[in-house]
Amino acid sequence: MKGHKFNKGIFRAYDIRGIVADTLSVQDAYYIGYNFAKKIRDKFKSVNIVVGYDGRLSSPILEKSLIQGLFDNGANIIRIGLCPSPMLYFASIRLRAEGAIMITGSHNPSNYNGFKILTKEGSYFGKELSSLMKIKAMPLIHGKIHYYDISNSYISNLVSAISFKNNDLKVVWDPGNGSTGNIIKKLIKHIPGEHILINSEVDGTFPSHHPDPTEEKNLVEIKKTIKKYNADIGIAFDGDGDRIGVLDSKANFVSGDKLLLLFAMDILKKKPKSKIIADVKASNLIFKTIRSLGGTAIMSKTGHSLIKTKMKETKALLAGEMSGHIFFADEYYGFDDAIYASIRLLNIMSQGFNIKGFLEKFKNLYSTPEIKVFCEDSYKFKIIDKIIKITSKKYRDVSYIDGVRVNLSYGWWLIRASNTQPAIIVRCEANSKKSLTTLIKEVELILLKFDLKLNY
């Protein structure tokens, strides 16, 4: 047991993730479970841990090994089987578990997998997560294992949130062969309107497209389907159902920050002065509009664990990221659930809300999507540290909440290190096409200092 070594690179800022049979092994799963059971026992005495997994081909064998590790250190394991991550979060609350582990590679390619971990106190990340690398040999204390089907309870909870005023909506759904497929099939039977479902079969090879609904290249099929059926809206999910991608009736993509503002506007009508969190990649217009509506706008670091923690600290009712994570504490549990977000969105649309008209707010803004610049994991944070030194001398209005966000009179740009991929993330926004070009060139020159090319 003392001889096991992890690849340190799989321990990210807010989850564990790696390439199966390369940086992440089946043995790793065992020791993660073994160590986590010990941590939970030390903290809470009781060791009830919920385990779920996504549809990746490697997930079942990782689940088996993880459960063995938990079992060998005395955990009472509640298996909920194949599920989206939000269903695991839901189960951990409903079953009052001390801990929960979701086996998922999220939006990464099919050869990736990993673990999202939480306790009853919240997300398990940062130093707590990296502490799982330290292995202490202990006598085996066998626990218990049982299976619990919570899917009907989860679906029932989603159905209870439906409050349609118009039953004529036509919706295209794309689970992208991810683990939301089985849930969406059952859920749409309870939702008024007409529903067209594509790529609903769970398949860990993701034959339809890469499981990230925030990249336009992955939305080709859903765009065609929206136009074919003259649908009112298209909704897509990532591999484990905590990210949402939305398209309007003309198949225009609605970025995560715009979607957040849409929800914020709805909440602020009912609950003025609410606190709303947006991540550092969000448009300036999001923050300005929330404030103009009487809300408190808070900028946060990117990352689902970091944002959930920030929500608890600030008692915010809503939070969101450009990446499509939407977190509702308003009438919900405060975790990122793309399926629940889709229900809230359809409720708003059923009241006559026009997304295409809403997007007009942004017509005078010119922005890039999230641009990913490949950079080795071992190098990316060092680059950001050097860029911080460069910008601190050159610019007056700079935010270092997460990476470097430079604010200028005609726009802003952001450079930050991804916590989930070997990449540096860039985003720019300006008040004209010409200004956007200027911002992009500025970022290009900075990245060239480190032999990195901005392909945009």
Residue 456 lies inside a defined structural domain of this protein:
no
Residues 399-434 pLDDT 10s: 999 999 999 999 999 999 998 788 999 999 999 999
Confidence of residue 266 (pLDDT cuts 50, 70, 90): very high
Is pLDDT above 80 for 281? yes
Q: Can you give the residue range of the structural domain that contains 439?
A: 366-448
**Cα 359 to Cα 99, 250, 288, 353, 440, distances in angstroms:** 41, 12, 16, 11, 23
- The verdict on 92 and 116 lying in the same domain is yes
Residues 383 and 406 in one domain: yes
- Residues labelled as active-site residues: 106
Same domain? For 69 and 92 the reply is: yes
pTM here is: 0.95
From CA 58, how far away is CA 23, in angstroms rounded? Answer: 14
Answer yes or no: do 233 and 260 share one domain. Answer: no
Residue bearing the bigger pLDDT, 319 or 12:
319
Mean of pLDDT over the chain? 95
Question: Is residue 200 in some structural domain?
Answer: yes
Q: Are residues 25 and 138 in the same domain?
A: yes
98 and 23 together in one domain: yes
Same domain, 24 and 115: yes
Whether residues 269 and 308 share a domain: the answer is yes
Q: Determine, yes or no, domain membership for 453.
A: no
Q: Which of 224, 253, 282 is the last residue of a domain?
A: 253
Maximal CA-CA distance, the chain: 67
Q: What percent of the chain has pLDDT over 70?
A: 99
Residue 420 lies in a domain: yes
Q: Which of 301, 327, 362 is the last residue of a domain?
A: 362
Instruction: Please report whether residue 454 resides in a domain.
Output: no
* pLDDT above 80 for 138: no
Distances (CA, A) of 119 to 6, 97, 142: 22, 8, 21
Across 231-244, average pLDDT = 97
Q: Distance between CA atoms of 10 and 194, rounded to whole angstroms?
A: 42
The residue out of 253, 281, 298 marking a domain boundary is: 253
- Same domain for 54 and 77? yes
Residue 75 lies in a domain: yes
Number of domains the chain is built from: 4
Residue 98 covered by a domain: yes
Give the count of beta carbons closer than 10 Å to the beta carbon of residue 412.
19
Is residue 411 a part of any domain in this protein? yes
143 and 12 fall within a common domain: yes
Q: Are residues 262 and 291 in the same domain?
A: yes
Asked whether residue 195 carries a pLDDT value surpassing 90, the answer given is: yes
Same domain, 118 and 158: no
Q: At 125, phi and psi to the nearest 5? A: -150, 180
Give the domain CATH number at 379. 3.30.310.50
Residue 367, class by beta-carbon neighbours within 10 Å (0-12 exposed, 13-18 middle, 19+ buried)?
middle
- In this predicted model, what pLDDT tens digit does every residue of 338-393 receive, in sequence order? 999 999 999 999 999 989 889 998 999 999 988 999 999 889 999 999 999 999 99
DSSP 250: T
CATH number at 177 reads 3.40.120.10
Residue 118, pLDDT score: 96
Least reliable range by pLDDT among 55-64, 147-156, 208-217 = 208-217
